[in-house]
């Protein structure tokens, strides 16, 4: 079963006092003690974001780890990823994330992980990346469309209510046919896809 859980905002990095979304992600693996790998590429493998991840997930019933592309834990990244039950992608700069993933072949590895039933999850950039297109601020202060991995059809806009310019920007891009129709998510909302279909919000 192929699953993707796309967060508009929230989770350990935005709402550490509210564990509900991250606890939901953990339950979807069906494992009592799932292996959870955090991928902080979009922040340039920020040490503080990695710390926040461990601060939360070390208190949960799981086995946390992270994948840094700046300090890889192993030469065999594919084996490292395919050994996990959940891949959790952090927010940040989506364009840089995609460029680095393609350089390292991580885009293809994650596709294989998804096809093998490993749960893919992420917030903001880690939500946009799974769709055909996303609304991003990766280029600077203006929100623009960005071509992404295409595991899921259509477009995605996170932080729909959390950033004042998100809603009008997404509407304008849709109205002018600059981005494919899709789904937006407010902060604190997760969209759970099973086999490319929305199963739960």
Catalytic positions, written as ranges: 124, 159
How many C-beta atoms lie closer than 10 Å to residue 134's C-beta? Answer: 30
**38: closest CA among 85, 79, 2, 75?**
85
Q: List for the chain the helix, strand, coil content (%; round to 5).
A: 30, 25, 45
Residues 13, 52: contact at Cβ < 8 Å?
Answer: yes
For tokens 């799974």, name the residue: 130
Cα dihedral 104, 137, 158, 67 in deg (nearest 10): 30
């Amino acid at each position: 079963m192929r699953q993707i859980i796309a967060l508009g905002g929230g989770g350990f990095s935005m709402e550490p006092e509210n564990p509900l979304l991250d606890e939901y992600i953990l339950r979807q693996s069906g494992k009592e003690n799932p292996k959870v790998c955090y991928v902080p590429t979009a922040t340039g493998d920020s040490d503080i974001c990695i710390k926040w991840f461990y601060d939360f997930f070390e208190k949960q019933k799981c086995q946390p780890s992270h994948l840094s592309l700046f300090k890889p834990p192993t030469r065999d990244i594919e084996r490292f990823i395919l050994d996990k039950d959940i891949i959790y992608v952090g927010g940040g700069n989506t364009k840089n994330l995609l460029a680095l993933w393609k350089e390292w072949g991580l885009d293809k590895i994650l596709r294989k992980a998804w096809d093998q039933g490993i749960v893919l999850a992420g917030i903001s950039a880690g939500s946009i990346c799974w769709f055909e297109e996303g609304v991003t601020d990766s280029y600077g202060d203006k929100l623009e469309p960005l071509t992404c991995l295409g595991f899921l059809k259509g477009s995605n806009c996170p932080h729909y209510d959390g950033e004042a310019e998100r809603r009008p920007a997404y509407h304008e891009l849709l109205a002018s046919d600059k981005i494919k129709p899709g789904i937006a998510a407010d902060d604190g909302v997760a969209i759970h896809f099973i086999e490319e279909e929305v199963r739960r919000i």
